Amino acid sequence: MERFKRMSPPSFKGESNPLLAESWMREIEKIFGAIRCVEDDKVTLASYMLQKRADVWWSWMLRTRFEDGAVEVGWDDFVRLFRAKFVPEHIQDKMEQEFLSLTQGSMTVLEYKARFSELSKYAPHIVADERKKAKKFVMGLRPSLRTRLVAFDHRNLDEALSAACRQEGLDAWTGLWLTNRLDAWSTDFYKSVVQLLSQLRLALRLEKIQHEYPKSPCFDWKIGRPISASWSFDFLIVPPQDLLARSVD
């Protein structure tokens, strides 16, 4: 109990707003996960935080359905009764439909799993079987992950989650490597284009000079080497400094 109290758990007074009821339940379950609460203690700790209308309701439930606590109350029973009382049926139906259509989308695998677990509580008849629950989880993954996992028979959600996380990590590493290679290739290609254009520009200037001064004694026209694999120019100009300046645009 002391570890539970140190987490500052919220209280619930039985407000009619179903969103408040759901928010309270989520916070309580988060605390249970943080302190690694055992199943046998969950109902006692959660009911301790019920106040006013909610406390009256639970006291009545213990007397009428569980013989003043003589009959053991499981956590799943508590959650089911709590939602039946404070979360209207149409809200539960909406949550169930959201679960049925849930896909990973832009979420990470862990974010998707958290949402999957949260909504699965509204469809207990669908996820009662562990293998079916794992299959539903896999079928909601992104296509790139789903196609690699759907052929495997995962025994439970934990197995499916571990496999999905491994594949997501592999995709992240592969994507980073490919991005780095594309950056390197793009840089090399850009440098090659710039170099080619610079050489081509110089060649065009020299050709202009050759055209304007074809018989000038100041030039010595010789056979030149190819500038690139696809371009070659059969002249090499050695102009004096003052004439070279005139060739610049």
The predicted-structure confidence for 90-118, as pLDDT tens digits, reads as follows 888 888 899 999 999 999 999 999 999 88
Of the ranges 17-26, 82-91, 155-164, the best mean pLDDT one = 155-164
Pair 9, 79 in one domain:
yes
Pair 21, 68 in one domain:
yes
The per-residue DSSP string of 166-228 comes to HHHHHHHHHHHHHHHHHHHHHHHHHHHHHHHHHHHHHHHHHHHHHHH-TT-TT---BPPPPSS
In the predicted model, is pLDDT for residue 85 greater than 80? yes
Residue 21: phi and psi, rounded to 5, are: -65, -45
Handedness of CA 166, 169, 174, 177 (dihedral sign): negative
Average pLDDT over all residues of the chain:
79
Pair 114, 60 in one domain:
no
Pair 4, 65 in one domain:
yes
Pair 110, 153 in one domain:
yes
Pair 16, 55 in one domain:
yes
Task: Count other Cβ atoms within 10 Å, centred on residue 64.
Answer: 9
The per-residue DSSP string of 98-159 comes to HHHT---TTS-HHHHHHHHHHHHTT-HHHHSSHHHHHHHHHHTS-HHHHHHHTTS--SSHHH
Residue 236: phi and psi, rounded to 5, are: -140, 120
Report the domain count for the chain: 2
Higher pLDDT, 191 or 15: 15
pLDDT in tens, 209-239: 666 655 555 444 444 444 444 444 444 444 4
Which residues have C-beta within 8 Å of that of residue 27, sequence separation ≥ 6?
Answer: 9, 10
> Which residue, 62, 47, 43, 63, is CA-closest to 14?
47
Residue 28: pLDDT band by 50, 70, 90 thresholds? very high
pTM beyond cutoff 0.85 = no
Residue 177: pLDDT band by 50, 70, 90 thresholds? low
**Has residue 80 been placed in a domain?**
yes
The whole-number average pLDDT for the span 166-193 is 68
pLDDT in tens, 115-172: 998 888 888 888 888 999 999 999 999 998 999 898 888 899 999 999 999 988 888 7
**Has residue 7 been placed in a domain?**
yes
pLDDT in tens, 34-49: 999 999 899 999 999 9
Domain range for 158 is 105-179
- The per-residue pLDDT for 60 is 92
**Has residue 186 been placed in a domain?**
no
For tokens 């909601």, the residue is 140
**Has residue 200 been placed in a domain?**
no
- The per-residue pLDDT for 225 is 44
Pair 122, 80 in one domain:
no
